[in-house]
Structure 1
């Protein structure tokens, strides 16, 4: 993204989110200054993802109050640059709720939501969430507190569901035809997407390995440093 900053429609900044510091990550961060430690009590995968999401949105609200949008992306997601930012430029809205969608109903709930592997929010929604109180207790009330479901995507859906009475408030947009979400059932299906024209047709690829990301980056190199062929993955 930094190499392409002159052709992007936005000024982009990013952070790598980690639960807590380690000696290796501190050394890395001293060099690049691109890690944000969430400093949450719950560490590791599949634990209190809602709280981690909440901390990230509050950070954006505090540090980047004039941002148009914020996003969170899994570390196994490949993003087509600059195509995804051209798409977001066409959709930009303070109440944007964008990504790969579960369900087809207009109402936002746990079954009708954006998957948190790639989730974009407009700054107005980020601000509204940041001003509320996070609560992991089972007695929390949805309309008063941000309840924790254990997962980031479903927690977000619960938080935004309070706006269902005003169905046009949240700009609920999905790009399921251009975002590849393989979930846990990837098998060998990923191979059909590893093609030089991937970013001509798609925007995001979930469940990428480091090797797959490298290959897709080479295919999508707008600075002419890549090639249209790379050997088979091993």
Structure 2
């Protein structure tokens, strides 16, 4: 990332997110200062990912209040750095909701959302979310609280669905032609996208 700093249109800060500290990660962080401990209620895989999402956006809002955008990316994702940041530069918006899209409707819901494997939010949305209360349940007493679906992407979709009445407020951009998500359709993706010059092609 450092050798690309003169090429990229943004100043970038990145952190590695962990549930809670361990002696090994504390030693690592003392060297590089690039870990954020979310200090969440539940640890492990596929447990309360919404809480982890909420804690991350709240951290960005508090520590980087003048940031243009924030993002989260899975540790098994590979980013073509110059290309993705040129693309984000062309889309930059305080209400950007960007990544690999599920569904085709304009409304945001659990079936029409950005996947949390690579998710970018504009700072206006980060601010709105971080100022709300996370309740940690699938149904909350207060309709303005942020529910938990156990997954980050669907939790996020539920939180943003409150803006569906103003359909043009959230800048909802799926970029599936530029983003490859492997898994059940690995062979199709491999044939269509993963060519020898994949990273060097715009």
Q: TM-score, normalised by structure 2?
A: 0.94
Query: Is 1:96 equivalent to 2:122 in the alignment?
Result: no
Most deviating of 132-141 and 29-38? 132-141
Cα distance change on mapping 1:84 and 1:138 into 2, 3 Å: closer
Gaps of 5+ in 2: none
1:94 Cα deviation after fit: 0.1
Q: CA 1:164 to 1:99, structure 2 compared with 1: closer, same or farther past 3 Å?
A: same
Gaps of at least 5 residues in structure 1 are 203-234
- In the alignment, which residue of structure 2 is the partner of 1:150? 150
Write the deviation string for residues 20-62 of structure 1: whole angstroms up to 9, x where unpaired. Answer: 1112111111111000011112101100000000000000000
CA distance in 2, matches of 1:142, 1:166: 21
The answer for the alignment partner of 2:70 in structure 1 is 70
Cα pair distance change 1:78/1:138, threshold 3 Å: closer
Q: Count how many residue pairs are aligned between Structure 1 and Structure 2.
A: 202
1:17 aligns with 2:17: yes
**Which residue pairs with 2:43 in the alignment?**
43
2:126 paired residue number:
126
SS at match of 1:89: helix
Normalised by the length of structure 1, the TM-score is: 0.82
Greater Cα offset, 14-23 or 157-166 = 14-23
**2:67 paired with 1:56:** no
In structure 2, C-alpha distance between the alignment counterparts of 1:111 and 1:132, rounded to whole Å: 23
- Alignment RMSD (CA, Å): 1.8
Q: Which residue of structure 2 aligns with residue 110 of structure 1?
A: 110
> Whose Rg is larger?
1
Alpha-carbon distance in 2 for matches of 1:155, 1:38: 17
User: 4+ runs of 1 displaced by more than 4 Å?
Assistant: 187-194
Q: Deviations for 1:98-149, whole angstroms, at most 9, x for unmatched residues? A: 0000000000000000000000000000000000000123440574110000
Alignment match, 1:198: 198
Q: CA deviation at 1:195?
A: 3.7
The residue that corresponds to 2:79 in the other structure is 79
